[in-house]
Structure 1
Amino acid sequence: MCNLYNLRASREEVNRYFSAPNDPRSVVQMDKDYVAPGKPGLVVREQEGARITSTMLWGFPFNGKPVTNVRNYTSLFWKSALLNPERRCLVPVTEFQEWSVAPIPQTGRKRPYWFRVPSEPIFAFAGIWRPTEGDPVFSFLTCGYDGDPSAHIVGAVHPKACPVVLHPEDYDRWLKADLDDALSLAVTFPSQLMAMS
């Protein structure tokens, strides 16, 4: 489960990369170059046929805690946002973190690993968002692995699930397609296009 990611790009760089100007009603601001649960992050969404960049809080509220990762696509908790293309978004990322499953023998502590897409200085998770009584919130999709998780660069570290990283040519499809077509994009990103540190 991914609970930390970086966005080491300015808002202007994100706007240019996604061809998405600022949302004038977006009042929450990012104050760091990383995003943690319950904290502000940028999302790119469609409004009236055009992309805009908004700031929202990461995690749909549930029992007082933010739920950051969408795993069960048929759950009623997520279904209304997934069904409505206007509630889908792109979550800009420069790298994301997963913790090792097993502790390091010498220290007994788990190790953080960072994953990026070297060919894309900024990439995007498939996300969904929801208005709330306060600030709007977002979460992003995760998926399982085809075959042995250890054969995938992320699965070798975190075998349960991987964030859904979209190819740039699929951004519009995620934002506009019907549910079945959009969910067909919920697959693991190719290992050979990723790097780990």
Structure 2
Amino acid sequence: MCANYIPSTRNQLERFFGVAAPDSEYKAESFPGYMAPLIRPPSANAVHGDRSCALGMFGLVPHWAETRLARQTYNARSETAASKPSFRNAWKRRQFCVIPASAFYEPSYETGKAVRFEIAHVNGEPLGIAGLWEHKAGGPGELNLLSFSMLTVNADGHPLMQRFHKPDDEKRMLVILHPDQYDDWLHCDTDDVPRFLTRYPAELLQARQAPMQGRARTQEGLPGF
């Protein structure tokens, strides 16, 4: 499950996704609880092809939850998202988004210990990850919060993604969309979702070791590897 990724740059948002970058700055590397770009229709009545970009918290926060839930809801299993309390409102309301990423990270245990790998497109192009978004109204003196989660599918037998996570864990991978699917995904009905839940071709991805260079991730209380 992806708990760490590189959001697309402002230039990539405009060039590859056809959206204006958010007004506010965002960190070059994202973890659960961080603010990062997501792409969604600009309004409930938006026509097919309309897109907008905003900053949201990595980790979906429904209206009834506190923001610390983001550390548990950064990924959503596509098989159960429609029924899980944290995700079902976003699913029912068809609040689908595309999360633009330059690369993402996963741990491999092939050596017997966790080794961090960076996964990216073979051509260096950004990836569009299928996700859900939610809006939480702020209380008195608080700002409204936009948040999102990345959808995942089973990756057993996938030539690349089966290499990651602990040997006894179920193999999972992010739902990566092809560019010609972005607008259809943003505007699809729930009955149409399954056709997007496919495993991205291994030959279009590349992986390389990317150690964290001594950064103490555990200090932030984030899932470590």
Q: Distance in 2 between matches of 1:167 and 1:84?
A: 23
Percent identity of paired positions between Structure 1 and Structure 2: 23
* Equivalent runs, 1:128-167 vs 2, <5 Å: 128-132=132-136, 133=138, 134-145=144-155, 149-158=156-165, 159-167=170-178
* Equivalent runs, 1:1-197 vs 2, <5 Å: 1-7=1-7, 9-22=8-21, 29-30=25-26, 32-48=27-43, 49=46, 50-61=50-61, 64-66=68-70, 67-71=73-77, 72-77=80-85, 78-85=87-94, 87-101=95-109, 104-105=111-112, 109-119=113-123, 121-132=125-136, 133=138, 134-145=144-155, 149-158=156-165, 159-197=170-208
| Pairwise CA distance, 1:40 | 0.9
TM-score by length of 1: 0.84
Q: Distance in 2 between matches of 1:29 and 1:65?
A: 23
Q: Distance in 1 between matches of 2:199 and 2:205?
A: 11
CA, structure 1 residues 117+137, in 2 after alignment: closer, same or farther (shift >3 Å)?
Answer: same
TM-score by length of 2: 0.74
Q: Distance in 2 between matches of 1:101 and 1:192?
A: 22
Deviation per CA, 1:116-175: give whole Å up to 9, x if none: 112351111001111112421111100003xxx244201122352101000111111110
CA, structure 1 residues 19+163, in 2 after alignment: closer, same or farther (shift >3 Å)?
Answer: same
| Pairwise CA distance, 1:59 | 0.3
| Pairwise CA distance, 1:186 | 1.2
| Pairwise CA distance, 1:33 | 1.2
Pairs aligned (count): 184
Q: Distance in 2 between matches of 1:59 and 1:6?
A: 15
- Are the counterparts in 1 of residues 82 and 92 from structure 2 also a CA contact under 8 Å? no
Q: Distance in 2 between matches of 1:156 and 1:138?
A: 26
